[in-house]
Structure 1
Amino acid sequence: MAQPERKSWDVGRFLQTLSFFETIPVVSWLQHMVFGSSPPPPPQPQAGLIFDFSQPSSTLNQVWGALDDVVMGGVSASSFQMQDSAALFTGNVSTENSGGFASVRTRNFDPPLNLTGHTGIELRLKGDGQRYKFLVRDEDSWDSLAYTYSFDTVPNQWIEVRIPFNLMAPVFRAKTVADAKALNTARIRSLQLMLSKFEYNGALNPNFQPGEFRLLVRAIAVY
């Protein structure tokens, strides 16, 4: 049986992703020296809000960037843009080239975000019926342990999703890590939203549909 033809890999988008998230030291140094491209200071929660996307933001694309399966040779593509008093996470997720995820992630907060004294994260969003993931990291490195929570959306309906810190699963590349340390909420380095074909440890996302997706996010808060 003939093998399916692999789609062309977008090397330029791969390098652009690594550059935005400052994973190549030399490129990062040049960015800082020539363009002054350091991300804005981390948000300071006001009345529990970390990101209030209902208000226009000129720094959205300086803080948040697409992190898709192009980093593994895939062809999925996503974006995060202001629309309808919210931030729209949208794009096309494809399982071609053994891929299957699209995501948007913040650049590392510097200094880290301190969320001590709070129970968890609250999302206010409207989705398309698919199951998404929210990820938090407390380490500086690019490919580090993430604390992850999966949630289902209701098609075209605004909902609130509460994510207790103590129920977030420690995960490395979609595999749970049984002996991981507890999340350090005093040192949050990045936040991430993801649509993935996979759940954890090889299990498939039961509500995943390849193709176009849409997730409107009005706010990311703490409670």
Structure 2
Amino acid sequence: MTLTFNNPDEQQRWYAVDDGVMGGVSQSRFSVTDGEGRFQGEVSLENGGGFASVRREPSDFESTLAGAEGIAVTVLGDGRTYQLRLKSTALGDASAYRVKFTPSIDTWKTLSFTWGDFEAVRRGTLLRDAPAITPSDIHMLGFLIADRTAGPFCLQVQRIESID
């Protein structure tokens, strides 16, 4: 299954969860234009903050990951490191599975991640005793930036797809 950004209605499925939940002032948004999604905003280290994230409301895309070997993203970056995050019913609400990546700044690249590439984290701390990811338990996906660097960011996303 492939998630593309040709339909402007896709933008309404994404919402920001930034460090304001803990007193920070970082801001982000996800927009859809001209066939691409953009996770952009500004990270601030003020007030103990330092992260910005967006999540996609659950839909049929997540349910198709059950039989997949992993997930691939076609992205263009800005030199900063991002995380692809997956929420799972196997972890608590404050936890997720993540994989870090630093996309190319001059060429669209498809980055492929098998389930074994993901690690379980809770508020940035590695969960050493967490279960391995079970694709059928995934119910939400998103992107996060938490590279301890203040300033603007922009991750362009062309496609998210299951690896079969």
- Following superposition, the deviation at residue 215 of structure 1 comes to 0.8
Q: Distance in 2 between matches of 1:95 and 1:173?
A: 16
The equivalent position to 1:183 in structure 2, one of 133, 139, 158, is 133
The equivalences for 1:128-167 within 5 A come to: 128-139=78-89, 143-167=93-117
- Following superposition, the deviation at residue 153 of structure 1 comes to 1.6
Q: RCO greater where, 1 or 2, for CA within 8 Å and sep 6 or more?
A: 2
Change (3 A) 1:140 1:147: closer
What is the identity, as a one-letter code, of the residue corresponding to 2:38? L
Whether 1:52 and 2:18 are equivalent positions in the alignment is no
- Following superposition, the deviation at residue 118 of structure 1 comes to 1.5
The aligned counterpart of 1:94 is 44
5+ residue gaps, structure 2:
none
What is the identity, as a one-letter code, of the residue corresponding to 1:209? T
What is the identity, as a one-letter code, of the residue corresponding to 1:52? T
Compare CA radii of gyration and give the structure with the larger one: 1
- Following superposition, the deviation at residue 60 of structure 1 comes to 2.2
Q: Distance in 1 between matches of 2:57 and 2:111?
A: 23
The aligned counterpart of 1:76 is 26
Whether 1:196 and 2:136 are equivalent positions in the alignment is no
C-alpha distance after superposition, 1:8-42 (max 9, x if no partner): xxxxxxxxxxxxxxxxxxxxxxxxxxxxxxxxxxx
The aligned counterpart of 1:3 is none
User: What's the RMSD between the two structures over aligned residues?
Assistant: 2.1
Q: Distance in 1 between matches of 2:58 and 2:94?
A: 12
Change (3 A) 1:191 1:79: same
Would you say the 8 A contact 1:69–1:76 is kept in 2?
yes
What is the identity, as a one-letter code, of the residue corresponding to 2:30? F
- TM-score, with length taken from structure 1: 0.67
The equivalences for 1:120-135 within 5 A come to: 120-135=70-85
Q: Distance in 2 between matches of 1:182 and 1:142?
A: 14
State the identity %: 33
5+ residue gaps, structure 1:
1-44, 198-207
Q: Distance in 2 between matches of 1:123 and 1:211?
A: 24
The equivalent position to 1:210 in structure 2, one of 123, 139, 150, is 150
Give the length in aligned residue pairs.
163
Would you say the 8 A contact 2:50–2:149 is kept in 1?
no
